[in-house]
Structures are given as C-alpha cells and as structure tokens.
Amino acid sequence: MNGSEVETKVATITGVRRVIGGLATAAALGGATACLAAVYFARQVVVPKTFRKEDLPIRRVFRDADGSSLIDLPTSPQTTAPGRYSLWFAKGSGHACIGPITGMNAEAGTVSRVVERVDAGDLTTARAGIWSGYVFSKPDQLGLPYSEVEIPVEHGAAPAWKFAPTKITATSDIWAIHIHGMGGTRAGALRGVPVANRLGCTSLVVSFRNDREAPAAADARYMLGQTEWRDVEAAVRYAVGEGARQIVLFGWSLGGSIALRLDDLSAHSGYVSGLVLDAPVMDWTRTLISNARATGLPAPIASLGLGLMRTKTFRWVTGLAEPLDFQSSDWVGRASELNKPVLILHGMGDLSTPFEVSQLTAKLRPDLIHLVPFEVEGHSQEWNVDAEKWESAVADWLLGLGLGAVTTELDDVGELTSAVAEF
C-alpha cells in the first residue's frame, strides 16, 4: 500500500469514526428520531427535487380601471420588494412575470402588483404559486437573436442557448458562459445575458447534469459543483472551438460554486478571465449549517448530516456515488488560492447563501474580489430588485478588465432594462 493509499485509508477511517461519533451524539439527543433527521437533512441537500410546494397564496387576479392586469398577494419582505419577479403556478406548468407594486392594503395584509405577462397557464384560476427571480422563462423573451445548440457531455448532449452579439466588435470573441443555480434550469441565468450582449460578448446559457434538461448523472444526485463543473467545462471547450479567446463565467448560487471549481480544476481555465458571481456559495459547510439553523435543526444533527455526505460508508443512505469533499469547495479557507478577478453581487438579507460568507471572502482577497451588496432578502434576486445597479456594476467591472466594448452608452442601461421589460 503506497503513501497516498494509506492517507486515503486513514481519512476514510477518520470520517467513519466522526460519523459514528455523530450517531452517538444524535442518539443522546433523541436516538432514532435525531438520526432520521440527519438522514432527511442530507437527502434534502443531494436529492434533486421533482416537486415544490406552491406556498404563496394568490388572493385575487383582476383588471385595473385602465385595463392593466393586477394580482393581490400576501405581504412579505419578498412580495413587497421593488422590481420584477416570476410566479410559477399550476404545478410548474404556468408562469407569469410580476412587475411593480401598485398598492398595499394593510388591513387585508395584501400587496397589489402588475402582471406584466403570462407566458403559460391560466393565472386567473390559480390559487397558489411559487415566487422566484427568473422573470424570463424562455430565451425569446429577451428580444435578442439566439440559437439552440447541444454541448457534448459525459452522458450525452446538454442543451444550451447561444446568443450572438447584436453588434460585432473587437471583443466579440469574448464569451460569457451563464450557469444557473441549484434546483433550477438555464432560464434562471437569462438575466445576465442582456448586459453581456450590450458589451459585445457572445453568451452561452448552459445546462448541467441533474437539472432536468441535461443528461442525469448515474447516481442522479447533486454533487454541489464537485462533478457538475465537468459539464460546464464541456461548454468552455465548445466556446473555444467556436473561436472564444477569453471567457467570463456568470454563476448564480450553485452556479457560482461550479464556476469556482471549473476555474480551479479545468485544463481550460487559462481561457477564463473573470468570474461574475450572484449570491454564490463560497463555502458549502457554512451555507448548509446556516440553512439548517434557519429551519431550527440542531447543529449536532446538521453536522451529522454533513458527515453522512462525506463518507462512502453511508452512501446507501445518501445515494451518492462518491462522497462530497466540502473542504475543496471552501473558498474562505482557500481564499489565498484564488487567482482570477471575481465580482460578487449579493443581497445582505439572503437567507439561503449567507452574505457574510461572501463578505468574509472579499475581505480576505481585496486584490481580486469586488463585492457589491444589495438591499434584498430573496435569494439570487439582486438583479430583480435593482436591474440597473446590477447591470451597471457588471458592465463597469468588465470594462475595467478590458472584457467588453461599449456598444451602447453606459447611461442606457435603464433604457435597455425597460426595453426588455416591455418585450
């Protein structure tokens, strides 16, 4: 047995001992119930969801005096936030874009907002829905020319949308690759395309394993970027084959973690010139513990759940083909290893990926990381609450790196956003 095998064996034994120790702690906290809670927590993390509860009641859909379509929703920090959002309904088959607030009824506890468009389904018959930041459910809603392409990946071909720049510039061989978040689809990353297009970049909006669009992995489990990055690397290879000289990775939430892994591990990382990360997961351990705490799960049980995901011994519980290596995705601990410029756009009230983790990472690497905070509580809804600020921050940062050309005046960001809204 060679040295590396010994180290692997010792690490495996240590991991098993930690999990067994965690089981003992869980037993002390309540025996089988605590152990089941840890298993449930672990599976909630790694098993892709096929169904999400429509937990936002729809009070009323009606016409205003001027004929505008309006919707009444219960007031909450998210439904009363400024900006534009998505409302999914009819078990995910219906989608509407929800716009500005027109009024609030304090006595009824409701907020009225404009229904900008209904892309699918009958909103008037819906009784509940899911609030999200997508805004665009289809690529044609951007009003930009695009084509459907397929990226060869490990288990087949992953669909992607390619947006060629509307104005050819000296920087048209700079490609922006847009990576969506956990539990979502590539439509969730469409928000980053307009500003990239305006700067003369080609955009590729990609899918990856287990997102219901790309081919699934053999174990059909989320690996939190640990393997998903390979599918995005395939997109980088495609871009290079199509003439890309430089690549900017746009990552949303999990997509941010994937982007960081790709830049760290890919043989093509030399083409990556910068990373634009929206509400990224900079450290999975801190993020998952924070999520567990927010739901009232005791820290020892959450820690046990993490332990179950770290070892092969309990893969019969998690279904993972290989254990998760949380240390390799800890960019707080690995901040000194970052070597590319990073722009982070993050809401200070984000309860899913804590703002404080992005803030800490930025403090550790002020030479490379520029953090732009937003006043928003919803996860990955920075663009939604202030699209002009988001797009201006991205444009200024990319232009500062020489990664784009001004094809429209920067002051026209608001006009561009308004034009997309009216499409």
Q: 308: pLDDT confidence band, cut at 50, 70 and 90? A: very high
* Region of 283 on the Ramachandran plot (φ > 0 left; ψ -120 to 50 alpha; else beta): beta
What is the dihedral sign for C-alpha 295, 301, 302, 306? negative
* pLDDT for res 415: 45
* pLDDT for res 8: 32
Structure token digits, residue 90: 């009819």
Residue 181 pLDDT > 90, yes or no? yes
* pLDDT for res 123: 98
* pLDDT for res 32: 74
If one compares 253 and 299, the residue with the highest pLDDT of the two is 253
* pLDDT for res 170: 72
Q: What is the pLDDT of residues 232-277, one digit of tens each?
A: 999 999 999 999 999 999 999 999 999 999 999 999 999 999 999 9
Residue 422 pLDDT > 90, yes or no? no
Q: 30: pLDDT confidence band, cut at 50, 70 and 90? A: low
Domains of the chain: 1-50+285-325 (no CATH), 59-126 (no CATH), 140-283+330-422 (3.40.50.1820)
Closest CA to 196 of 156, 249, 232, 134: 249
Residue 220 pLDDT > 80, yes or no? yes
Half-sphere exposure (CA, 13 Å, Cβ side) for 322? 9
List the 128-132 sheet strands across, edge first.
Answer: 56-57, 128-132, 85-89, 94-105, 110-120, 69-74, 60-63
Residue 27 pLDDT > 80, yes or no? no
Beta bridge mates, 248: 176, 274
Most confident of 277-281, 404-408, 417-421: 277-281
Residue 409 pLDDT > 50, yes or no? no
Residue 199 pLDDT > 90, yes or no? yes
pLDDT cut 90: percent of the chain above it: 81
Q: What is the spatial distance between Cα 335 and Cα 164, in angstroms, rounded to a whole number?
A: 34
Q: What is the spatial distance between Cα 15 and Cα 37, in angstroms, rounded to a whole number?
A: 20
* pLDDT for res 410: 40
* pLDDT for res 406: 64
Asked whether 149 and 238 are in contact (CB, 8 A), the reply is: yes
Residue 324 pLDDT > 80, yes or no? yes
| Residues contacting residue 235 through CB under 8 Å, at least 6 positions apart | 151, 158, 160, 177, 204, 206
Q: What is the pLDDT of residues 81-120, one digit of tens each?
A: 999 999 999 999 999 999 999 999 999 999 999 999 999 9
Asked whether 56 and 131 are in contact (CB, 8 A), the reply is: yes
Residue 420 pLDDT > 50, yes or no? no
Residue 1 pLDDT > 60, yes or no? no
Residue 11 pLDDT > 80, yes or no? no
* pLDDT for res 49: 87
Closest CA to 190 of 199, 181, 82, 60: 181
Q: What is the spatial distance between Cα 199 and Cα 407, in angstroms, rounded to a whole number?
A: 6
Residue 417 pLDDT > 70, yes or no? no
* pLDDT for res 36: 87
Distances (CA, A) of 124 to 39, 62, 120, 345, 396: 40, 8, 12, 35, 42
Q: 166: pLDDT confidence band, cut at 50, 70 and 90? A: confident
Residue 73 pLDDT > 80, yes or no? yes
Half-sphere exposure (CA, 13 Å, Cβ side) for 360? 15
Residue 309 pLDDT > 60, yes or no? yes
Q: Which amino acid is at 246?
A: Q
Which range has the worst mean pLDDT, 265-269, 299-303, 347-351?
299-303
pLDDT cut 70: percent of the chain above it: 88
* pLDDT for res 307: 95
Rounded to the nearest integer, the mean pLDDT of the chain is 89
Residue 18 pLDDT > 70, yes or no? no
* Mean pLDDT (whole number) for 117-131: 98
Strand 369-374 to 202-206 pairing:
unpaired
Other beta carbons less than 10 A from residue 321's beta carbon: 14
